[in-house]
Chains A and B, each alone.
Chain A
Amino acid sequence: MSTTPRLPIYLDHAATTPCDPRVVEAMLPYFTTKFGNPGSRNHQFGWDAEAGVETARAQVASLLNCDEKEVIFTGGATEGNNLAIRGAALMYEKNAAGSGLSRGHIITCNIEHKAVLDPCKRLQKEGFEVIFLEPPRDGIVTVDMVKAAMREDTILVTIMWANNEIGTINEIKKIGELCKSRDVIFHTDATQWVGKMPTDVYGDNIDLLSFSGHKIYGPKGVGGLFVRRKKPRVRLTPLVDGGGQERGFRSGTLNVTGIVGLGKACEIAQQEMAADAVRLSRMRKRLEDTITSRLDTCAINGHREQRLPHITNISFGFVEGESLMMAIKEIACSSGSACTSASLEPSYVLKGIGVGDDLAHSSLRLSLGRWTTEEEIDYTAEKIIAAVNKLRALSPLYDMHKEGIDLSKVEWAHH
């Protein structure tokens, strides 16, 4: 370690990112001087606010490669996912509620974000049939898996572009083609993808795409939803009724400051994401190579190549997740285990791709960002290696493993 970087180190960019100062700069006038309601059509304040919103809409459209009219502003990706999934299901249902017949078939996957899984589960309770695809150990949802699940009455496919815990990239372009050929609406939760990787909703045959501002160095509480307007013109049943803003898809006075910030974040992302991807991928390799070359029994989860450049998810055998987090408390990252309560709940994503409970508990998700430095990466690697070594020196399981005892054959006293 050459120098100690400023602590704590933030390596949780898949959870949220700091706002880019250029984004904050762009937002500021809209809090004070240009504070108008874009719905006020007959004075300068309203016109100024509207101009800010429309600039942002153009910036988003440019990043997604769609028409400005196809961008709906939301309160974030959770809302975008709910509006897209629920809105499409209710609009395209095959049979009415209460008819006793299936209202329609929906395809999703068991390692989607909760903001997709939970709306799907609610629809399931309300009479839709939902299949949750189970990707294999590499975490990739393929077009063949979707094809095999397709039925005559499939109305919606919702598959995330890239996974938030392991960063794996699904076969979105091919799934888009398949859905188009079957006239099935295709939604993708692109929260981790947009602004990091090139997006072309038309080239990739996407009908609905949701994403969020705060994952791309924009503000929290704002997001975007692409709703295709031609071939086909996608319709949605709105979740919120009222003043009819956002072409009736999302009533409510627009979050002008947030929207302006989101637009600016998209513009910056478009200019910088290619260079960021190269740099982050190089730093991640350095992090992974250092750790895996110096620690035995650790594994990188998910497909090694087909994944986002800034996320890594590593499991460490024979150490426990919470004590590992305690040992690296200067590093802000996510653990594969939500063990703040007595009952340990390993990540459903890792479990979903077949990682055992013991390894899922002792996993770390490290996600790099625009201002991550090599010093931070080197410090983090050393800290993790030291922590795992320390905890293994304490671990009876590691001793047993070293002595050649098969831990799966031991009769444990379960509690």
Chain B
Amino acid sequence: MAYGPKIIDHYENPRNVGSFGTQAEIKQRKDVGVGLVGAPECGDVMQLQIKVDPATGKIADAKFKTFGCGSAIASSSLATEWLKGKSIDEAEAIKNTAIVEELALPPVKIHCSVLAEDAIHAAIEDYKKKNGIPTDAPTATAKH
């Protein structure tokens, strides 16, 4: 697949790779919201984490790990860059189309941006749940 320079850059130098702890640890952390979306047999799994500063209510840090193609890695890497410094409401407004535009994703890879948007919503929802904040959005991690 011929990719544009921005996808290649994020793939070769992914930003904010990592986790704020083991699976068990991040489950306990109230300041961290985790979104895990996709499935291994579909070829994409994204794990996006946000760390919220309780004083400001803003996203102080974000991390990701992705199993997937170059576009999936680039989409989630870009998402972490965009999330940092945003309020929860601002973060919720991030649209997959913006990711498509910024990375110049080819049409067959648009699902990667959708997955990244799903991951953002899932992480925010997890954070809200942990902190007793009511959520109005339907759950992003639908269980089939």
Chain A interfacial positions (CB closer than 8 Å to B) = 318-323, 326, 337, 339-342, 344, 356-358, 361, 391, 393-400, 403, 405, 407, 411-415
Which residue of B24, B38, B67, B73 is within 8 Å of A415 (Cβ)? B38
Which residue of B19, B73, B140, B142 is within 8 Å of A323 (Cβ)? B73
The answer to whether B67 and A403 have CB atoms under 8 Å apart is no
Within the assembled complex, what's the spacing in Å between the Cα atoms of A322 and B108? Answer: 13
The verdict on A396 contacting B69 (CB below 8 Å), with A341-B108, A414-B42 known, is no
Q: With an 8 A cutoff between CB atoms, is B96 at the interface? A: no
A-B contact pairs, 6 of them (CB 8 A): A323-B11, A323-B70, A326-B3, A326-B69, A399-B65, A412-B38
The answer to whether B1 and A415 have CB atoms under 8 Å apart is no
Closest to A361 in B: B43
Which residue of A319, A320, A394, A403 is within 8 Å of B44 (Cβ)? A320
Contacts of A395 in B (CB 8 A): 45, 65-67
Bin the interface of chain B by size. 35 or more
Contacts of B14 in A (CB 8 A): 394
Q: With an 8 A cutoff between CB atoms, is B50 at the interface? A: no
The verdict on A396 contacting B144 (CB below 8 Å), with A342-B108, A413-B39 known, is no
Contacts of B73 in A (CB 8 A): 323, 394
The answer to whether B23 and A405 have CB atoms under 8 Å apart is yes
Which residue of A323, A403, A405 is within 8 Å of B68 (Cβ)? A323
Within the assembled complex, what's the spacing in Å between the Cα atoms of A399 and B118? Answer: 21
Within the assembled complex, what's the spacing in Å between the Cα atoms of A405 and B45? Answer: 15
The answer to whether A403 and B17 have CB atoms under 8 Å apart is no
Nearest CB on A from B63, distance (A): 11
Closest to B23 in A: A403
Which residue of A321, A356, A413 is within 8 Å of B37 (Cβ)? A413
Q: With an 8 A cutoff between CB atoms, is B109 at the interface? A: yes
The verdict on A344 contacting B43 (CB below 8 Å), with A320-B69, A323-B68, A400-B23 known, is yes
The verdict on A413 contacting B141 (CB below 8 Å), with A358-B40, A395-B66 known, is yes
Which residue of A337, A340, A357, A397 is within 8 Å of B45 (Cβ)? A397
Nearest CB on A from B29, distance (A): 16
The answer to whether A397 and B1 have CB atoms under 8 Å apart is no
Contacts of B19 in A (CB 8 A): 396, 399
Closest 8 CB pairs of A and B: A412-B39, A396-B47, A396-B65, A322-B69, A357-B41, A358-B40, A395-B67, A344-B43
**CB within 8 Å of A: which of B22-73?**
22-24, 36-47, 65-70, 72-73
The answer to whether B68 and A320 have CB atoms under 8 Å apart is yes
The answer to whether B40 and A399 have CB atoms under 8 Å apart is no
Within the assembled complex, what's the spacing in Å between the Cα atoms of A318 and B41? Answer: 11
